[in-house]
Amino acid sequence: MQLDPPWYWFLDALTLIGIGAALLGGIRRWKDFPQPVRAVVVLFLLAGLWLWTSALLRVLPYLLDRPRPLMPVARYAFPGIIPSTLGLTWGWLQIASPNGKQQKVATFLLGVMAVLNGISLFTIVRFYQF
């Protein structure tokens, strides 16, 4: 789905805010996390790193060699979406004030993710119908 350039700037800014807040919140609260939570965080970080690295390495030959047809890269990055969205969502929740607004922000983010998943499903079905 092609968007106008200002929307991409907006989405880039939201992503950078989420990543920055997740990193800062994780660094600030690392000592407060119990050991099982630390293990899960490290596991998700390693899974995300592994999945995004393998997605990049999978399409790198196609990106460097232009005479070949360019393969769609999104399907190779799809497994990395779960750890990435959990990290971004946690980062955005770090920005929300803790006085009860975090639940509203979490509900809003969950709704946005559901809408994005619905749009993705619709575009996939539409692509394969033609």
Give pLDDT tens digits for 96-126: 767 777 778 778 877 887 787 778 778 778 8
Residue with tokens 């750890």: 83
Give which of 99, 122, 96, 124 is closest to 109, Cα–Cα.
Answer: 96
Nearest 5°: CA angle at 88, between 47 and 56? 45
The pLDDT assigned to 22 comes to 87
Q: What single-letter amino acid sits at 82?
A: I
Domain segments of the chain: what residues? 5-95
Contact between 83 and 42 (Cβ < 8 Å)? no
Please say if the pLDDT value at position 60 is more than 70: yes
Average pLDDT, stretch 83-97?
80
Beta-carbon contacts of 6 under 8 Å, excluding residues fewer than 6 positions away, are: none
Rounded distance, CA 94 to CA 102, Å? 8
Please say if the pLDDT value at position 68 is more than 60: no
The pLDDT assigned to 36 comes to 92
Beta-carbon contacts of 18 under 8 Å, excluding residues fewer than 6 positions away, are: 87, 88, 89, 91, 92
Band of residue 92 on the pLDDT scale cut at 50, 70, 90:
confident
What pLDDT, in 10s, does the model give residues 5-58?
888 888 888 889 888 998 898 888 899 989 998 998 898 888 888 888 887 787
The pLDDT assigned to 39 comes to 93
The pLDDT assigned to 63 comes to 67
